[in-house]
Structure 1
Amino acid sequence: MRQTDFSNVNVGGGRRAVFLDRDGVINKAFVLQGKPYPPKNLTEVSVLPGVAEALSQLKAAGFLLIVVTNQPDVARGNQSRSMVEAIHEQLGRQLPLDDFCICFHDTADGCDCRKPGWGLLRQAAQDHNIYLLQSFMVGDRWRDIAAGQAAGCRTIFIDYGYDEEQPKSWDWRTTSLLEAAHFIINHQ
């Protein structure tokens, strides 16, 4: 089991956050042959039911809301960085999100920001004075949950039954961000 090194992150104090994967947690993912894919353009972006309410409740409970997302289609040449940023601008106008942390790399690039690594969460913790051990990671794929666990966050798995590797463990499993928000608020 990998040991998390918190020596360069303020874990003794600071703010609490809910880290959120983007596709499948905030907005609709397109499922093809059992695997989720991101929207290709602004017209395909659709905020999932209950997300605005869930984020408002989490914000009212005092959490920072940070999107942490892998967008490897940029490295693969299937998506432009400017379109990913435009999607984030659109989501940011619609929802009370505090920041977007994005990995544009593919697995072969070997970066530390790509989930299941916790580089995106570490950077957000440094930028926003976040106390990781009192924060949550919400995701719909094993990489999200593994990144949250590596960072010391409590994890919530939104289970859509994708036909792919599943997380080995999590703190709570649900089927929506709204249910996840209720769990977080009741277990903070």
Structure 2
Amino acid sequence: MTKRRAVFLDRDGTLNAPLVREGRPYPPATVVEFQLLPGVAEGCRQLHAAGYVLVVATNQPDVGRGTQPQAVVEAMHAHLRQLIPEIARIEVCYAPGRGVGHPDDRRRKPEPGMLTDAAQALGLDLAGSWMIGDRWRDVDCGARAACRTVFIDRGYDEPLRQKPDFTARTFTEAAGIVLAQSKAIS
């Protein structure tokens, strides 16, 4: 059986608008605050039409910290699936981060557990897949899973830890990079 290619998508700052305070992005607190960024729905449709399986991979540590109810995050994800029905799966890590090597953190980006779990469940080819995100954790996660990476540079006050394969300013540009590279390979 041939494995399928995927585009793994960070959520906050990649698909939806983050709340930026002091140069750092934060997730929306309510479903009402959850707003897709321009071009995201159309870019996802184009990626899906090109044969990519779309998988959201998102850290939501506020749930683990007890500062946001899990039900609110799940309501946001239900809303996201209504807005972008092409999404095949949403992987979430609620762990607040306990330190390098802690077993609870194998799914917390930058660790690749959410991507490898989705790949196993959906029969995905990680080497033929992509990770798109707006934080260093997304780039590192994708690289650790052997995916190619596209960093959406939102100008946050946060340095990258390693160089992404490509850099974009918007989701539309990031999706265009993936689509152009796919055509170059096929």
Range into which the TM-score falls when normalised by the shorter chain: over 0.9
Q: Displacement of 1:51 after TM fit?
A: 0.3
1:159 aligns with 2:153: yes
| Alpha-carbon distance in structure 2 between the residues aligned to 1:163 and 1:116 | 18
1:101 alignment partner in structure 2:
91
Q: Match for residue 66 of structure 1? A: 55
| TM-score of the two chains, using structure 2 as the length reference | 0.93
Of 166, 171, 179, the residue aligned with 1:185 is 179
Q: Separation in 1 of the partners of 2:70 and 2:159?
A: 27
- In 2, distance between residues paired with 1:115 and 1:41? 23
Deviation at 1:165, TM superposition (A): 2.8
Q: Deviations over 1:47-98 (max 9, x none)?
A: 0000011001001100000000000000111101111111000000111211
Give the structure 2 partner of residue 49 of structure 1: 38
Distance in 1, matches of 2:113 and 2:166, equals 23
- Corresponding residue of 2:130: 136
- Percent identity between the aligned chains? 45
Q: Is the 8 A contact 1:16 1:131 kept in 2?
A: yes
Show structure 2 runs of 5+ residues with no match.
Answer: none
How far residue 13 of structure 1 moved from its aligned partner, in angstroms, is 4.3
Return the alpha-carbon distance in structure 1 between the equivalents of residues 161 and 147 of structure 2.
15
Residue identity opposite 2:107 in structure 1 = C
Count of residues in correspondence between the two structures: 177
Q: Structure 1: state its 5+ residue gaps.
A: 1-11
2:90 maps to amino acid: F
Deviant stretches of 4+, over 4 Å: none
Partners of 1:17 and 1:64 within 8 A in 2: yes
Matched, 1:33 2:27: no
Deviation at residue 106 of structure 1 after TM alignment: 1.2
Q: Distance in 1 between matches of 2:26 and 2:3?
A: 34
Secondary structure of the structure 2 residue equivalent to 1:86: helix
Q: Which moved more, 1:168-177 or 1:107-116?
A: 107-116
- Checking the alignment, whether the CA contact within 8 Å between 1:21 and 1:139 is kept in structure 2 is yes
Deviates more, 1:104-113 or 1:130-139: 104-113
- How far does the alpha carbon of each residue in 1:6-51 deviate from its partner, in whole angstroms, 9 at most, with x for none? xxxxxx9400000000000100001000000000011000000000
Cα pair 1:141 1:167 within 8 Å, conserved: no
**Which residue matches 2:143?**
149
